[in-house]
Structure 1
Amino acid sequence: MKKSVLFAFALLLAALGIISCGKDGNGDTPGPDAAVDRKALLTQWADSLVKPGYQRFNDKLAVLKAKTTAFTAAPTPATLVDARQAWQAAYVEWQKVELFEFGPAEQVSLRNHFNIYPADAAGINRNITAGTYDFELATAIPQQGFPALDYLLNGVAAGDAAIAQQYASSANHRRYLTDVVAKMDQTFGTVYSQWNGSYRDTFVGNTGTDASSSLSRVINAYSLYFERYLRAGKVGIPAGTMTGTPRPEKIEAYYLKGALPLQLATTAHATVQQFFNGRPGRPSLKSYLDALGAKDSRTNQPLTGIINAQFGVSAQQLSSLGPDLYATMTARNADAVASYNEMQKAVRLIKVDMTSALGITVTYVDNDGD
């Protein structure tokens, strides 16, 4: 009995010794990323990606506002072409910042105000006829932003002369176009000013990994964007992968068609990969994961190499859908489905393996039915 008590006491001391050795000087058990400087990573994102990206987009938005103002002041085929070109340039630039749906952008639902498609053409026409509308209503989400401008600049009539004449003869059309751009300018201006104000320091200083941390919000926004808005929105839904029926009318920039829809998709895909890799020698998701020694759960190979390889395959398959994405969805739908499938392979790597390696909990729900 005495020996049993002594033996149990010895085991207790040993256990306490092990626990003590496993803690740092502050009594906190270091996580797997203790050697990684998260503040440096957040600083890089804020100062080299988000703020400069927003500045470039703000410049394009200012041109769009100027050109649509000129068009509504004097509606002609020439001023229409100028407004349309400014819309295209801003729309491409938007693809480079849309994934930043965290912080101020998330608070104002920036994506809902800018790029939920297809546009509700019937609702837009009702608004124009009524002359009254509220862009903050949930029903108004597809009646504003870039998709609404697609309809307003390309779809209200057949041909540039007829579109210009529609605006020349209708004050309500001119007002609606003006109000859509003004709402975009106002909503984005709120986000842009906060990043150039105090929010930048708030973002950089929030260095934890819990659900409210900057890292968690960025990773969730990144994963959600790739899965739902790039993979599904730009390719899967119009290809009919969820329903079995192709719906090419659900592509981005449906009313203009041509080369722009694919350009928007490939720009968005390139942005996702560039965000992952960052710049050589600077903090990035890739460098963070490499420092953690992150492995692919299926092959046990370095995770960043597997992710980049899959990005390369999916980018190539996406590019093959050109030159006209609408025509491809109609005539070569199997190729569009194949593009979706290649991006789906990257979803598992990002949403499961990457978040696990980073110690981040996925907080959004995949509701696209796949």
Structure 2
Amino acid sequence: MLENYAQNLIKPAYSDLQNQVNTLKTVSDNFLNTTNTDNLVALQNAWTNAYSSFQYANAYNFGIAGEQGLNKSLVEEVATFPASTSKIETAIANNTANFNDFNRDARGFLAIEYLIFDGSGNQQNIINTFSNTTRKNYLRDAISNLKNRIDIVASAWNGTYYNEFIQNTGTDVGSSTSQLYNEFIRSYETIKNLKLGIPLGKSLGQTQAEPQRAEAYYSGKSLDMIKLHFQAIENVWYGKSKDGVDGIGFKEYLESVEGGNALIASTENQLLVIKNQLNNIPNTPSLAVQIQTNPTPLENLHTELQRHTRFFKSDMSSLLGISITFSSGDGD
């Protein structure tokens, strides 16, 4: 099982992500050297491709991608949202950018998104902001920092960590299966709690919807990313690669334990319900707009994601004997 995940899901995910981020840097350099509409559109497309690729790596947030010293996990370092526009603008105004501090909401994919999209689609407004050399430097440095972080993880999977992961057998805390399972659950709950729950106002302490806290708010790509992320989660469940290579995954692991087939049936029935709900929600207008104009389908989707949590989390953990080592903080 571990070999299938490493060879067919994790390595290809990080390899594609690395390639897409390399392209993002090249296209960004072109834009910064020649700041015009054509190069801006190319940059926006490159960002979309790279962040779409990241959705397939989101669940593999362990090992070299986990916390390392003062660095948090890769997901926190490069995909914290919403971006803090005040921190970004202050750093640009004061020329005090620091991409290794604790301000993770001022770097990574979503900070870059804020700089190159404005939500209205007015490309000239964006181009005008880059008359500021300091803003150009911020974008250049943000992308370089993103590239460096992705390169470290991709290189590790192409090096010694690949065998370390496969050989770290068992289900104890710290084993590869435990790390993979826990990050799989965390990644699923990111969709439910952060990408959908908070914008809908469903989080503890919220009194109303906060659509401006959606992922990919400025590009309007929130729903695209949720759908790709959910597909990636399904792939982890099945042990299936992005290209359709179907190997041994958690589903097959459950087939080997008592009660596993019943849980598989419940899980797959509910996955189908969620997928149907997702397919019935259009990608446009944006998630933020739909929360304000037609929230019911989104609220129904959130309810179905909540219903599914027990299958991936408590039931699966119990049957496989894998401890849950993180807290989602949502009471599920």
TM over 0.5: yes
Equivalent positions of 1:325-344 (< 5 A) are 325-344=287-306
Rounded to whole Å, the distance in 2 between the matches of 1:158 and 1:198 is 45
Q: CA deviation at 1:247?
A: 0.8
One-letter amino acid of the structure 1 residue matched with residue 310 of structure 2: R
Return the match for 1:143 from 106, 109, 114.
106
Deviation for aligned residue 1:344: 0.9
Secondary structure of 1:209's aligned partner: coil
1:119-145 CA-to-partner distances (Å, cap 9, x unmatched) read: 10111000111112222222x111111
1:217-263, Cα deviation, whole Å (9 max, x unpaired): 11111111111x11111111101112241111111111121xx2111
SS in 1 for 2:129: helix
SS at match of 1:292: coil
Aligned partner of 1:332: which letter?
Answer: N
- Superposed, 1:104-115 pairs within 5 Å as 104-108=64-68, 109-115=73-79
> Which one of 160, 168, 176 corresponds to residue 123 of structure 2?
160
Give 2:18's aligned residue.
58
The 1:369/1:328 distance shift into structure 2, 3 A limit, reads farther
Measured in 2, the distance between the counterparts of 1:158 and 1:94 equals 23
Q: 1:87 aligns with which of 40, 44, 47?
A: 47
SS of the counterpart of 2:24? helix
Number of the residue aligned with 2:151: 189
Match of 2:255 among 290, 294, 315: 290
What TM-score do you get using the length of structure 2 for normalisation? Answer: 0.92
Counterpart CA distance in 2 for 1:332 and 1:158 is: 22
1:255 and 2:218 matched: yes
Match of 1:354 in 2: 316
Q: Which AA in structure 2 matches 1:143? A: A
The CA distance in 1 between the partners of 2:310 and 2:36, in whole Å, is 50
Match of 1:31 in 2: none
On the 8 A contact 2:119/2:219 being kept in 1, the answer is no
Taking only the aligned residue pairs, the percentage that are identical comes to 28
Aligned mates of 2:37, 2:331 — CA distance in 1: 43
Letter in 2 for 1:164: I
Structure 2: distance between partners of 1:122 and 1:158: 21
Matched residue pairs, number?
A: 320
Return the offset for 1:156. 9.4
Q: Residue 35 of structure 2 aligns with which residue?
A: 75
Q: Does residue 49 of the first structure (1) align with residue 9 of the second (2)?
A: yes
Structural mapping, 1:219-258, within 5 Å:
219-227=181-189, 229-242=190-203, 243-257=206-220
Deviation digits for residues 89-148 of structure 1, max 9, x if unmatched?
A: 11111111111111111134111121111110111000111112222222x111111111
Which residue number in structure 2 is paired with residue 277 of structure 1? Answer: 238
> Could you tell me how far 1:43 is from its partner in structure 2?
0.7
Whole-angstrom distance in 2 between the partners of 1:347 and 1:78: 44
How far apart, in 1, do the equivalents of 2:65 and 2:292 lie? 35
Q: Which residue of 1 aligns with 2:93?
A: 129
Deviations 1:250-298 (A, max 9, x none): 11111121xx211100010111011101247621111110122334xxx
Alpha-carbon distance in structure 2 between the residues aligned to 1:278 and 1:213: 18
**What CA distance in whole angstroms lies between the structure 1 residues aligned with 2:115 and 2:257?**
49
2:140 partner amino acid: T
Structure whose CA Rg is larger: 1
Q: CA RMSD in A?
A: 1.7
Task: Write the distance in 1 (CA, Å) between the matches of 2:120 and 2:213.
Answer: 19
Deviation at 1:83, TM superposition (A): 0.4
The 1-side partners of 2:121 and 2:58 are apart by 31
* Paired letter, 1:272: I
Matches within 5 A, 1:195-210: 195-210=157-172
**Any gaps of 5 or more consecutive residues in structure 2?**
none
By how many angstroms is 1:368 displaced? Answer: 3.9
Shift of 1:157: 9.0
